């Protein structure tokens, strides 16, 4: 039964990424090619493997926290699922709505909820919190990139 919950957490996280990718692919070869981007923008091929790895780590992190018996889980999972929703929403805003400004505001909120997830999960299971560190590092970079794109295309 515990493996079923791992599959569920991985599935939720990977499904979130997949839905976000639908919005991304609709613009990545059109609008995104035409906007100004900073020189430190990674190549497009890098995003898929990085995000897939991060979504797998998020799923394992959620599962590790879930299978723990500590009572602090409910607030931690509110943060966790809100950040997953915000993660998806960023793709909708940036690529779907093509709004770097709104995406810049949204990614800051996303970063806060990732931070709260890390803090909450670390109290429940240290490894669960640790598995989210690469995610917050990548989102920090993505925030810098998003804000830079906004200023380059005002």
| 78 has a pLDDT exceeding 80 | yes
pLDDT at residue 72 tops 80: no
Q: Would the pLDDT of 145 be above 80?
A: yes
Three-state SS for 87-117 is HHHHHHHHHHCCCHHHHHHHHHHHHHHHHHH
Reported as a single tens digit per residue, the pLDDT across 15-70 is: 999 999 999 998 988 999 999 999 999 999 999 999 999 999 999 999 999 988 76
Contact between 54 and 135 under an 8 Å Cβ cutoff? The reply is: yes
Residue 117 has pLDDT above 90, yes or no: yes
Q: Given a cut of 90, is residue 2 above it in pLDDT?
A: no
**Beta carbons of 59 and 86 less than 8 angstroms apart:** no
Fold held by 2-152? Ferritin (1.20.1260)
Say if CB 95 and CB 149 are below 8 A apart: no
């Amino acid at each position: 039964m515990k493996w079923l919950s791992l599959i569920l957490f991985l599935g939720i996280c990977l499904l979130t990424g997949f839905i976000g990718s639908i919005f991304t692919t609709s613009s990545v070869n059109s609008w995104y090619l035409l906007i100004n981007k900073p020189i430190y923008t990674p190549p497009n091929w890098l995003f898929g493997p990085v995000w897939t790895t991060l979504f797998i780590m998020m799923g394992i992190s959620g599962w590790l926290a879930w299978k723990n018996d500590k009572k602090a889980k409910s607030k931690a999972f509110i943060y966790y699922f809100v950040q997953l929703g915000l993660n998806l929403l960023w793709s909708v805003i940036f690529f779907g709505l093509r709004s770097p400004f709104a995406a810049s505001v949204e990614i800051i909120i996303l970063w806060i909820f990732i931070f709260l997830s890390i803090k909450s999960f670390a109290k429940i299971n240290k490894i669960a919190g640790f598995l989210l560190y690469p995610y917050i590092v990548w989102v920090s970079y993505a925030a810098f990139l998003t804000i830079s794109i906004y200023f380059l295309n005002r």
